[in-house]
């Protein structure tokens, strides 16, 4: 089964672990019990129980927040993305692996890193293999930035640098999602995402990383505001501590968006890979039309299918199903770009299992499309398009 590898980045206290628990709460248990759901996440028993326990601790206003992740503990969470078939049964579609490193791992200096040897090497390997980097930006610090507090300015100038350099060192075609955590604290101050993005754009280092990646991935860079606990669950004290509000209940907000955006962004990246591979073989004009999406989609789709057949080499049911999923993703991605429905092509050779999976995937893709369109409608600036370069010569 196709496994998407996601590594979370962000300094100590950015909100990585709490986000992971909230995301699984929303897309796992809650979604499983939602009548309209066409997909949900599952995890192996031990991981599921650990995450549920973690969420129970977070959600209880009488208990302290969970501890910071220790340097050498590397929680690895393997989720299965399931699409529901016509009988309402789960069909495993792909795996999403999250690796939640301690924020300390990012900010260590040379000598200290040497002391932590093998894990640091493993961290580097994971970064190189990642399909998606989930870079969490601390909403509490960005709130300070927006209030012109020097600590907030220092955060963007200094504390975010290890995250940005790690992104710069990753594979150039890796999808990057910046997630602004603790959005409840920014919302309280009526700070909008556009204003925060304006501030981020002014930072030269940030702009350089964003531009390069957006160009190379065909626009698979996003800035997503989330709150793992939602409005009114936490309060910020004068001494900067975040406390829980007695009697409040957490309602995670937008925590599903980074997962929902993963599939279309992986598609953009595939398309860009194909474009680069075939660019030399195509007349220049055709290549530039392909880059702009639209008219050459049927051509791009054929190339993508060919690419998938090479990418998922081998025979057997497992491989056929993996190809079915990726081909479904390509068709859907193509429709997203074209903004027009395509007639369904049926193959006589298609097995019953593949047909069932294809239909289940189609329903899942349609729902993901609605969710993402809704999000993009509310936050049009959250997606950094390949052609929207951020100014890099700002002071
Ligand atoms: N207001 C608010 N506070 C949050 C939210 N998420 C996390 N926090 C606060 O941020 C603290 C740190 O969150 P963690 O998820 O443990 O941070 P981390 O990024 O995993 O940090 P390390 O494990 O040290 O790398 C929590 O203890 C909470 O106080 C949120 O959505 N809203
Ligand atoms: Mg942590």
Residue 296 pLDDT level (bands cut at 50, 70, 90): very low
Does residue 216 have its Cβ closer than 6 Å to ligand 1? no
Identify the burial level of 105 via C-beta atoms within 10 angstroms of its C-beta, where 0-12 means exposed, 13-18 middle and 19 or more buried: buried
The domains found in the chain, sorted by start residue, are 3-255 (3.40.50.300), 268-378 (no CATH)
pLDDT, tens only, 142-192: 999 999 999 999 999 999 999 999 999 999 889 999 999 999 999 999 999
Give the Å distances, CA to CA, from 20 to 23, 216, 285, 388.
Answer: 5, 27, 44, 30
Distance of CA 339 to the CA centre of its chain: 23
102: closest CA among 121, 119, 77, 114?
119
Question: What is the C-alpha separation between 94 and 322, in angstroms, rounded?
Answer: 8
Q: What number is the average pLDDT over the span 103-111?
A: 68
Q: Which of 10, 13, 250, 252 to mutate to test the pocket of ligand 1 (most atoms within 8 A of CB)?
A: 13
Does residue 163 have its Cβ closer than 6 Å to ligand 1? no
User: Count of CB atoms within 10 A of residue 263's CB?
Assistant: 24
Pairing, β 90-100 against β 3-9: parallel
For 307, the 3-state DSSP assignment is: helix
Question: What is the C-alpha separation between 205 and 67, in angstroms, rounded?
Answer: 31
| 3-state secondary structure string across 136-184 | EECHHHHHHHHCCCHHHHHHHHHHCHHHHHHHHHCCCCCEEEEEECCHH
Stretch among 133-142, 232-241, 318-327, 340-349 having the lowest mean pLDDT: 340-349
* DSSP-assigned letters across all residues of 58-70: HH-TTSPPPPPPP
Does residue 162 have its Cβ closer than 6 Å to ligand 1? no
Stretch among 85-99, 138-152, 227-241, 309-323 having the lowest mean pLDDT: 309-323
How far, in Å, from the CA of 22 to the mean position of ligand 2? 13
Supply the pLDDT for residue 266: 85
How far, in Å, from the CA of 67 to the mean position of ligand 2? 7
Which residues, by Cβ under 5 Å, contact ligand 2, an ion? Answer: 16-17, 69
How far, in Å, from the CA of 274 to the mean position of ligand 2? 37
Q: Evaluate whether 123 touches 30 at the Cβ level (below 8 Å).
A: no
Q: Map tokens 């019953």 to a residue.
A: 352
Supply the pLDDT for residue 103: 78
Q: What number is the average pLDDT over the span 101-126?
A: 72
Q: Is residue 22 pLDDT above 70, yes or no? A: yes
Which phi-psi region, left, alpha or beta, contains residue 240 (left: φ > 0; alpha: ψ -120 to 50)?
Answer: left
Q: Is residue 258 pLDDT above 80, yes or no? A: yes
How far, in Å, from the CA of 88 to the mean position of ligand 1? 36
Does residue 20 have its Cβ closer than 6 Å to ligand 1? no
How far, in Å, from the CA of 140 to the mean position of ligand 1? 10
Residue 355 pLDDT level (bands cut at 50, 70, 90): confident
Q: Which of 11, 12, 14, 15 to mutate to test the pocket of ligand 1 (most atoms within 8 A of CB)?
A: 15
Report the nearest-CA residue for atom 10 of ligand 1.
15
Does residue 186 have its Cβ closer than 6 Å to ligand 1? no
């Amino acid at each position: 089964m196709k496994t998407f590898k996601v590594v979370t980045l962000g300094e100590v206290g950015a909100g990585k672990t709490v986000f992971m628990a909230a995301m699984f709460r929303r897309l796992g248990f809650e979604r499983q019990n939602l009548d309209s759901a066409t997909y949900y996440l599952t995890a192996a028993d031990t991981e599921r129980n650990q995450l549920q326990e973690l969420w129970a601790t977070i959600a209880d206003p009488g208990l302290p927040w969970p501890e910071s992740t220790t340097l050498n503990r590397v929680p690895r969470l393997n989720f299965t993305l399931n699409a529901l078939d016509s009988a309402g049964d789960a069909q495993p579609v792909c795996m999403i692996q999250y690796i939640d490193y301690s924020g300390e791992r990012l900010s260590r200096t040379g000598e200290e890193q040497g002391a932590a040897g093998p894990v640091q090497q493993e961290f580097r390997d994971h970064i190189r293999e990642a399909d998606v980097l989930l870079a969490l930006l601390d909403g509490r610090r960005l709130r300070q930035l927006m209030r012109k507090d020097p600590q907030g300015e220092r955060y963007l100038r200094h504390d975010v640098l290890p995250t940005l350099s790690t992104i710069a060192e990753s594979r150039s075609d890796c999808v990057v999602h910046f997630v602004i955590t603790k959005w409840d604290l920014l919302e309280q101050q009526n700070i909008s995402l556009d204003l925060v993005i304006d501030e981020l754009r002014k930072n030269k280092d940030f702009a350089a990383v964003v531009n390069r990646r957006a160009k190379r991935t065909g626009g698979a860079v996003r800035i997503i505001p989330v709150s793992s606990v939602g409005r009114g669950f936490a309060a910020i004290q004068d001494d900067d501590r975040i406390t829980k509000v007695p009697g409040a209940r957490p309602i995670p907000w937008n925590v599903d968006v980074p997962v929902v955006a993963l599939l279309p962004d992986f598609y953009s990246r595939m398309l860009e890979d194909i474009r680069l591979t075939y660019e030399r073989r195509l007349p220049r004009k055709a290549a530039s039309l392909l880059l702009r999406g639209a008219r050459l989609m049927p051509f791009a789709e054929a190339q993508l299918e060919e690419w998938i057949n090479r990418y998922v080499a081998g025979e057997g049911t497992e491989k056929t199903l993996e190809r079915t999923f990726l081909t479904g993703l390509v068709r859907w991605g193509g429709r997203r770009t074209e903004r027009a429905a395509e007639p369904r092509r049926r193959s006589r050779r298609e097995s019953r299992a593949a047909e069932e999976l294809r239909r289940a995937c189609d329903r899942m893709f349609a729902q993901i499309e609605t969710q993402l369109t809704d999000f993009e409608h509310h936050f049009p600036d959250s997606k950094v398009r390949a052609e929207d370069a951020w100014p890099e010569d700002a002071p």
